[in-house]
Structure 1
Amino acid sequence: MLERIIRAVAGAFVLLSLVLSQVHDPMWLYFTAFVGLNLFQSSITKFCPLEWGLKKFVFNK
């Protein structure tokens, strides 16, 4: 369940930043790049800040 939440949040952030880059300011694409880099580093290091936060504050594991 935790993995599905992380994927949903990452996907929502990417889609939101793409929409904002089209209707507001192209600088929002930097946020898209940040999300992508975070996904990439978490695949290598096995550390995801969102997973850590959800475990600590929501799921209390």
Structure 2
Amino acid sequence: MNLDQAVLGFAGTVVLLGLGLGWFVSPYWLLLTAFAGLNMIQASITGFCPAAMVFKKLGLSNGCAFS
């Protein structure tokens, strides 16, 4: 697994987790989904992605999107 796959998998997991918790537990959990979406938008504009930095420190190899 490379860095790009890890970041996309993590983002998808956070979005689905937020939706599930929002549906079954409390609508306030939808804020987690909104946070994930806003983070993805800012990462596409600025190139700064905290999750990519964490996965890189964990030793994942670079993909083509995050270097």
User: Does TM, scored on the shorter chain, surpass 0.5?
Assistant: yes
- 1:46 is matched with 47
Alpha-carbon distance between aligned partners in 1 of 2:31 and 2:21, rounded to the nearest angstrom: 11
User: What is the aligned-residue RMSD (CA, Å)?
Assistant: 1.4
Identical aligned residues as a percent: 43
The runs of 5 or more residues in structure 1 that have no matched partner are none
With normalisation by structure 1, the TM-score equals 0.91
Change (3 A) 1:47 1:24: same
* TM norm structure 2: 0.84
- Determine the C-alpha separation between the residues in 1 that align with 2:46 and 2:25: 34
Matched residues, number:
60
**Of the two structures, which has the highest relative contact order with CA contacts closer than 8 Å and spacing of 6 or more?**
2
